[in-house]
A and B are shown apart, each in its own frame.
Chain A
Amino acid sequence: MASTDGLAVETHGLAKHFGTLAAVDGIDLAVPAGSTYGFLGPNGSGKTTTIRVLLGLVNPTAGSWSLLGQGMPHRAMDALPRVGALVEGPAFYPWLSGHDNLARLDALGPDGRSATREARIAGALARVGLTAAAKRKYKAYSLGMRQRLGLAWALLRPRQLLVLDEPTNGMDPQGTREIRHLVRQLAEDGTTVFLSSHLLSEVEQVCTHVGVMHRGKLLMQGTLDELRASSVPRLRVQPDDPAKAVEVLSTLGLSDIGRQGPDVVASMGNVAPEECCRRLVEAGVGVRMLVSEKASLEDAFVALTGEGFDVAR
């Protein structure tokens, strides 16, 4: 790999305004080469616009960026052939077969040798499980098959960076599992994967790094553990006397104390779980169970972006 060191994607103050709306509002992405980077954010948070700017589809209002160490957009012809992309779903000619669509698109740019084309197409289609439908017209494909063809396109040539925008959209559970497996495999081969998603479980299972977008801003980025650590761990106790337990925990300085069925839960802050346990027992509370719960990615995500279900803007 040419650029295993450094950053596969780097942006400085990247911004895109549509009229008065700042769809992307000055973000500094740093995607380490070789990482699997989960690009998270609620609908309308600016993820897709960012990806469009990265790929040179949309001109940024401000800021600069580079892909695989190549300054964009002037080095696009050097960088983009090594970047496989699935942007906002697949898009192909309905009147051509899956195979013919890939062949045509491959023939229309640099770095797609015709001598290896058939073999590469067959390999990519096999990789996404589309071999049987290769000769069928794209318009006859189901949503999941279209998504698979989009992935096959991204994998058609050896890539150093894959930009995948919601890759499991419209896929059945088996398909989703296959994609997860595929992403892991690619990451093991050293490909940097930039995976945009709003499916937290998907990101949690495959990513090493995350960036969280909200209202056009990059709220945080770092390793998955750093994001988890950014939200406070919670304590879950099952006492024989919940009322007494609540009393003890509040004197200890725990906040956000509540009851869930037989359990008492609280935000631990800086108090160690063993300290909580000792105090409860000393106060005569019988402890049937005590767990220090590491925050899930979902908790961390909601803590950053808020609970609201509505689109951000």
Chain B
Amino acid sequence: MWLVEARTTFARARVRALLLVLSAVPVFIALVVFLSGGPAAGEGPSFLDRVLHNGVFTALAALTVTMPFFIPLSVAVVAGDSIAGEASLGTLRYLVARPAGRARLLWAKAVTVALFCLVAAISVVVVGLIAGVAFFSHGQVVTLSGTTVSFMDGVGRSLLAGLVVGASMFGLASLGVFVSTMTDVPMAAMAVTIGAVVVSAILDSISQVSFMHPWLLTNYWTAFADLARDPVPWHNIWKDLVLQAGYCAVFGAAAWARITTRDVLT
């Protein structure tokens, strides 16, 4: 069932446009760096100063640029639309009367949104790698720790970074799906989901509330950058994944409780 759902979602012009815009970012970065000669070492967003040295860093720089806003925004659009979009079109009543099964429907939606998170992040990486190789070197990669690894190792690390970034969106995605079960207005669900990112980011920057930082949705979002170190310090990535799983459990349960009891009135 989720396969049917995923196919329908990825066939949508809106979803394709989101992926296209995301994929344009690494191309844009590669072009700008190539034409301008790149920023001086230590300037600009992480990895940008290294793009010129190796194509792999185009992918990582693109992830860094899209991570705080572009990717969460597109995830919020897709997740917020998941149930509320069906409700606003009225198709939810036909799905429930089909009977698709309310819990099964939620599962299909959740899997589709999770797939979108991964596809979004991976497409940034893949396009970044292609653009990086096209414009810059594809020799050995100098890691942030100063060691040297092979190009294929660099590619593997970039793809893994994409997976980590995609998985880092799961908590947000589950929150978005939950909010989406609460309303018949998809825009409201999207706005609330983006609002959650903003609130989390603001709290994360206030040191007086540092006690809650380890619990914040966005706290470990930059952990993927550790993959550019050698050896890789995994602890923040693990913490991130565990935290995301926690968010999924909480909001997944809330979404399930809501959708199985909700009156479908649209």
Q: Do A and B bind each other?
A: yes
Report A's interface with B, CB cutoff 8 A.
52, 55-59, 76-77, 80-81, 83, 85, 87-89, 91-96, 104-105, 107-110, 153
Asked if A91 meets B91 with Cβ closer than 8 Å, knowing A105-B98, A107-B4, the reply is: yes
Q: Which residues of A contact B263 (CB under 8 A)?
A: 52, 57-59
In the complex, are the beta carbons of A57 and B264 less than 8 A apart?
A: yes
Q: Which residues of A contact B4 (CB under 8 A)?
A: 104, 107-108
Is B100 in contact with chain A by the CB < 8 A criterion? yes
In the complex, are the beta carbons of A108 and B90 less than 8 A apart?
A: no
Chain A nearest CB from B109 CB (Å) reads 11
A120 and B260 CA atoms in complex are apart in Å by 30
Asked if A88 meets B13 with Cβ closer than 8 Å, knowing A105-B98, A107-B4, A109-B100, the reply is: no
In the complex, are the beta carbons of B96 and A57 less than 8 A apart?
A: yes
In the complex, are the beta carbons of A93 and B91 less than 8 A apart?
A: yes
Is B1 in contact with chain A by the CB < 8 A criterion? yes
- Of all chain A residues, the one with the shortest Cβ separation from B7 is A104
Report B's interface with A, CB cutoff 8 A.
1, 4-5, 8, 12-13, 89-91, 93-101, 105, 108, 261, 263-265
Q: Which residues of B contact A89 (CB under 8 A)?
A: 90
Q: Which residues of B contact A92 (CB under 8 A)?
A: 89, 91, 94
- Of all chain B residues, the one with the shortest Cβ separation from A108 is B100
A93 and B95 CA atoms in complex are apart in Å by 12
| Of the residues B94, B100, B261, contact of A59 by C-beta under 8 Å | B261
Rank and list the top 8 A-B pairs by shortest CB-CB distance, nearest first: A91-B90, A109-B98, A57-B264, A80-B99, A55-B97, A58-B263, A107-B4, A108-B100
Asked if A93 meets B8 with Cβ closer than 8 Å, knowing A57-B263, A57-B264, the reply is: yes
A298 and B108 CA atoms in complex are apart in Å by 48
Q: Which residues of B contact A107 (CB under 8 A)?
A: 1, 4
- Of all chain B residues, the one with the shortest Cβ separation from A83 is B97
In the complex, are the beta carbons of B97 and A56 less than 8 A apart?
A: yes
| Of the residues A52, A94, A95, A108, contact of B98 by C-beta under 8 Å | A108
Q: SS class of chain A's interface: helix, strand, loop or mixed?
A: loop
Chain A nearest CB from B105 CB (Å) reads 8
Chain A nearest CB from B59 CB (Å) reads 32
A85 and B99 CA atoms in complex are apart in Å by 11
Asked if A88 meets B90 with Cβ closer than 8 Å, knowing A108-B95, A108-B98, the reply is: yes
In the complex, are the beta carbons of A104 and B264 less than 8 A apart?
A: no
Q: Which residues of B contact A109 (CB under 8 A)?
A: 98-101
A83 and B261 CA atoms in complex are apart in Å by 21
Would you list 6 pairs from A and B whose C-beta atoms are within 8 A, ordered by A residue? A57-B263, A57-B264, A92-B94, A96-B8, A108-B95, A153-B94
Chain B nearest CB from A128 CB (Å) reads 16
Q: Which residues of B contact A77 (CB under 8 A)?
A: 99, 101
In the complex, are the beta carbons of A104 and B8 less than 8 A apart?
A: yes
Q: Which residues of B contact A83 (CB under 8 A)?
A: 97
- Of all chain A residues, the one with the shortest Cβ separation from B98 is A109
A76 and B95 CA atoms in complex are apart in Å by 13
Chain A nearest CB from B175 CB (Å) reads 25
| Of the residues A81, A88, A95, contact of B93 by C-beta under 8 Å | A88
A96 and B13 CA atoms in complex are apart in Å by 11
Chain B nearest CB from A151 CB (Å) reads 13
Chain B nearest CB from A42 CB (Å) reads 20
- Of all chain A residues, the one with the shortest Cβ separation from B261 is A59
Asked if A95 meets B13 with Cβ closer than 8 Å, knowing A57-B263, A81-B99, A104-B8, the reply is: yes
Q: Which residues of B contact A59 (CB under 8 A)?
A: 261, 263
In the complex, are the beta carbons of B99 and A91 less than 8 A apart?
A: no
- Of all chain B residues, the one with the shortest Cβ separation from A76 is B99
A95 and B13 CA atoms in complex are apart in Å by 8
List 20 additional contacts besides A55-B96, A107-B1, A109-B99; criterion CB under 8 Å. A52-B264, A55-B97, A56-B99, A57-B263, A57-B265, A59-B261, A59-B263, A80-B99, A83-B97, A85-B97, A87-B97, A88-B93, A91-B94, A95-B13, A96-B8, A107-B4, A108-B108, A109-B100, A109-B101, A110-B99
In the complex, are the beta carbons of B90 and A56 less than 8 A apart?
A: no
Q: Which residues of B contact A153 (CB under 8 A)?
A: 94
In the complex, are the beta carbons of B90 and A80 less than 8 A apart?
A: no
A59 and B264 CA atoms in complex are apart in Å by 9
Q: Which residues of A contact B91 (CB under 8 A)?
A: 91-93
Asked if A56 meets B96 with Cβ closer than 8 Å, knowing A77-B101, A108-B5, the reply is: yes
- Of all chain A residues, the one with the shortest Cβ separation from B97 is A55
Chain B nearest CB from A222 CB (Å) reads 28
In the complex, are the beta carbons of B96 and A95 less than 8 A apart?
A: no
- Of all chain A residues, the one with the shortest Cβ separation from B2 is A108
In the complex, are the beta carbons of A80 and B97 less than 8 A apart?
A: yes
Chain B nearest CB from A57 CB (Å) reads 4
Q: Which residues of A contact B5 (CB under 8 A)?
A: 108
A76 and B105 CA atoms in complex are apart in Å by 15
Chain A nearest CB from B4 CB (Å) reads 5
In the complex, are the beta carbons of B95 and A105 less than 8 A apart?
A: yes
Chain A nearest CB from B17 CB (Å) reads 12
